[in-house]
């Protein structure tokens, strides 16, 4: 069963795929991998050469999804504040 959040129509979560990690449009490409690749290829031309199946909206939603799902907990010396 694939679940898609209304706000993130390109982010899919399927327990049967990639251990339930959020993926891009049902592909075997996780949001985490997209973010890691953005860090490696800050030049979008290089990024899209490496990942031609992705579109700008995939990147935008990956960044927004990551920002929304991050905890606002502040860590100080390894302890939650």
Distance CA 52, CA 54 (A): 5
CATH of 3-67, one of 3.30.70.600, 3.40.50.720, 1.20.120.1200, 1.10.10.10: 1.10.10.10
Digit-coded pLDDT (tens) for 2-51: 444 578 999 999 999 999 999 999 999 999 999 999 999 989 999 999 99
**Which structure tokens are listed for 24?**
């891009």
- How confident is the model at residue 14, as a pLDDT? 95
- Which whole number is the average pLDDT over 58-80? 79
- How confident is the model at residue 77, as a pLDDT? 67
* 78 torsion bin: left (phi>0), alpha (psi -120 to 50), beta (else): left
Provide φ and ψ at 52, rounded to 5°. -65, -20
- How confident is the model at residue 66, as a pLDDT? 93
Question: How is residue 10 annotated by DSSP?
Answer: T
Query: In this predicted structure, which of 44-48, 69-73, 76-80 has the lowest mean pLDDT?
Result: 76-80
């Amino acid at each position: 069963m694939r679940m898609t959040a209304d706000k993130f129509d390109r982010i899919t979560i399927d327990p049967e795929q990639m251990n339930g990690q959020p993926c891009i449009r049902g592909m075997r490409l996780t949001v985490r991998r997209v973010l890691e690749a953005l860090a490696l290829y800050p030049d979008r031309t290089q990024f899209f050469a490496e990942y031609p199946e992705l579109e700008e909206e995939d990147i935008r939603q990956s960044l927004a999804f990551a920002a929304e799902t991050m905890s606002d907990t502040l860590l100080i010396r390894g302890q939650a504040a």
